[in-house]
């Protein structure tokens, strides 16, 4: 699934396109929501608890609808305070983007519906693709700095039924740090070493692969073309924008 830098930039662009007062009332909370499903990094809870999506279920799923079905108090913005409304609107962007990536990119090219699903390297190439897409999004450095500033200035978000308040406070710092990371390969080894080891590569091969990240990235784009990625972004951006507009209007 897209990395947090991509989630932040794409949510930022949704906010820019919509220009809705509910988002502008607390842009930082909106952007925090756009990263919050991945808060399991610090809570250590199951992915499904915050993504409302089962990776082992290959049928069509609507994670947004499931979230509101299981948490009806969040379904109507009119009953929420400004920070919570903005947070949930941002949260929708994350759920929709992940769901679109799984359906349009991961499963047909690297996962259950792909010809390389049984190859241990398939997940390595998927992660290399995610890293490169995130790195490219970070090249929008002015936008990323505005995102970081908004996160730092965001008001407190509380009483999200499936995330404890103390984790949300900690997650503001995590998200702001993510927004400040450079558009380079400095984090490639940290992200990829575990996946390469799980694919059965020895230490020497892992070192070589991490020293030459462009080779794995190029191999990933040999499976998913640049044209397909651009089409995915167009589809995902439209889907996120419409889902947030539908929620707030």
Using a pLDDT cut of 90, give the percent of the chain over it: 98
Looking at residues 219-229, what average pLDDT do you find? 98
User: Average pLDDT for residues 117-130, to the nearest whole number?
Assistant: 95
Query: Per-residue pLDDT averaged across 167-175, rounded?
Result: 96
> How far is residue 248 from each of residues 67, 87, 88, 104, 243, measured CA to CA in Å?
16, 12, 10, 26, 9
Quote the CA–CA distance of 119 and 183 in Å, as a whole number: 29
Q: What is the mean pLDDT of residues 134-141?
A: 98
Alpha helices in 114-249 (DSSP H): 121-138, 141-153, 165-179, 188-198, 203-211, 213-223, 226-248
How many domains, in total, are found in the chain? 1
C-beta neighbour count of 77 within 10 angstroms: 17
Average pLDDT of span 46-67: 96
For residue 154, pLDDT over 90 is answered with: no
pLDDT attached to residue 70: 98
CA 120, CA 122: separation in Å to the nearest integer?
5
CB distance 9 to 133 below 8 Å? no
pLDDT at 103: 97
Predicted pLDDT of residue 155:
80
Per-residue pLDDT for 180 more than 90?
A: yes
Q: Are 138 and 182 in contact (CB under 8 A)?
A: yes
- What value does the mean pLDDT take over residues 211-222? 97
Give the mean pLDDT of the chain: 96
pTM of the model: 0.96
Higher-confidence residue: 156 or 164? 164
Query: Does 100 score more than 90 pLDDT?
Result: yes
Average pLDDT over residues 84-90: 98
Domain span including residue 213: 4-248
Q: How far apart are the first and last CA of the chain?
A: 28
């Amino acid at each position: 699934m897209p990395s947090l830098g991509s989630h932040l930039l794409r949510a930022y662009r949704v906010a820019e396109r919509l220009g809705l007062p509910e988002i502008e009332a607390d842009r930082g909370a909106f952007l925090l929501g756009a990263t919050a499903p991945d808060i399991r990094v610090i809570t250590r809870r199951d992915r499904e608890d915050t993504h409302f999506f089962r990776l082992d279920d290959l049928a069509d799923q609507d994670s947004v609808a499931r979230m509101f079905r299981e948490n009806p108090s969040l379904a109507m913005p009119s009953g929420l305070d400004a920070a919570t409304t903005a947070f949930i609107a941002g949260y929708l962007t994350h759920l929709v983007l992940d769901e679109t990536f799984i359906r349009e990119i991961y499963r047909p090219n690297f996962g259950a519906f792909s010809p390389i699903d049984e190859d241990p390297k398939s997940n390595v190439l998927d992660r290399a693709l995610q890293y490169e897409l995130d790195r490219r999004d970070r090249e929008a450095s002015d936008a990323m700095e505005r995102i970081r500033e908004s996160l730092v200035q965001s008001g407190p978000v509380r009483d999200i039924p499936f995330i404890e308040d103390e984790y949300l406070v900690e997650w503001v710092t995590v998200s702001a740090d993510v927004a400040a990371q450079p558009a380079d390969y400095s984090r490639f080894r940290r992200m990829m070493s575990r996946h390469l080891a799980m694919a059965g590569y020895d230490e020497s091969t892992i070192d070589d692969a991490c020293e030459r990240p462009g080779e794995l990235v190029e191999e990933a784009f040999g499976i998913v073309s640049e044209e397909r990625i651009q089409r995915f972004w167009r589809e995902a951006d439209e889907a996120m924008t419409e889902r947030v507009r539908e929620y707030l209007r």
